[in-house]
Structures are given as structure tokens and as C-alpha cells.
Amino acid sequence: MVIHPHDLIEVSNLKYLSLNEDKEWVTASLRRTPFVVVRRSDPSADGYIPVGVRGQERNQREAAFLDPKGVCQIVSPYAIAKHQMWNSLSTERRQQPVLQLMDLLAEMMADWRWGPAGSAGFEIATGYPAVKATSDLDLVIDGSETIDYSTAEGLLRKLEQLDVRIDIQLEVKGGAYVLREILERRTSTVVLRTSSGPKLVRNPWQ
């Protein structure tokens, strides 16, 4: 079973989740929508998967660990884009600004391996209305292969013309970069987000 940060996991039974604190909103959220998101963190000593629970409010986020036995299904951001899963949402929900963009993004990013994360990815995968009119759009791009600088810069310029703020994480073998930070090239180092925490590394595109 291969799992990556941003993947959404449907939990077969809540007994397989280990929570630091038994908060009422956490249990309510999981009973309503039994999905968790994989965190960028090392597995526990006993092999449990680091995950996070989303609540209704922006500040409602809870770290937890999931026993692999509790994995019912895994939905990756890349699978969401590949299968254009947003088409399963209601017409009403697809009027939300970030969801309205999905078909256009599928055209603009046809040459990339990409997918929506954050609230958009969560709503598309689960059907739960997590997106708001003011929501930003979080995207992930597979950076496992070398990416041409000018091509990435061109993509970012196009995305900046859209009406929604879009944040892109470039996923690489050792972690993830914020694409914008690499392209700005203001310093010789950039932040690499790893499973053990952020690290300053040499800008890979300088």
C-alpha cells in the first residue's frame, strides 16, 4: 500500500484511529464524513499512518494516526484530476469559484500530473461541501521528473490570471516545494517540506 501526503483515506471503522484528544467536533466530523487526509509526517513506531481530520471550521484540524487495517479506499489528488471526479458534484456545488475552474484547469494542465488538494480535493472526493466562496485552491504537481523552468513559469503566469488564488506544491522524492518560492529565485535556498519538518535546501532551479 503506497500512500502520499494529500491522499484522502476513507476509514472503514473509527476504532482504527488514534486521536491525541477526544474532541466532540472530531467525532462528529468523522461520523458524517469518514475521510482523513495523509499528513506529511513520519509513520508512528508501530506503522500507523499520520493523518489529519478536517472539521467544518478552518481552525478545526486534528492530527491523528490510522492503523493500516482501517484503510477502506485511497483517493489521491492525481486520481481526482485524471478521472475528473468533480463531474460527480451537483450543478449547484460546481458554481463555487474554485470548483468552477476545474474543467479549465484540466485543459491548462493537460501536460502535467496534477490534482486538487485542500478543501476542493476533499469536497470532490467525499461530496461533503467543504469549499466556500472565498476558498483558495490548493494544487499539487508531481515533480518526480525534472521540470523545465520556463514551462513552469509560464504555467504560473497563466494561473495568476484566474480569479481564484492558487497555491501549488511541487511534490518531489524528499518532500515538497512551494512552486512560487522556487520560481521567484530571491535567495540561493528554498524551503523543502519534509516528513520530519521544513528544511532549507539549495534552490533546485538556480
Residues marked as catalytic:
136, 138
Give the residue from 53, 23, 43, 42 showing the smallest Cα distance to 122: 53
CA–CA separation, 187 and 190 (whole Å)? 7
Q: What DSSP designation does 42 have?
A: P
Spatial distance between the Cα atoms of 120 and 97, rounded to a whole number of angstroms: 10
Q: What is the gyration radius of the CA atoms in the chain, in angstroms?
A: 17
Residue (of 26, 16, 21, 29) closest to 65 by Cα position? 16
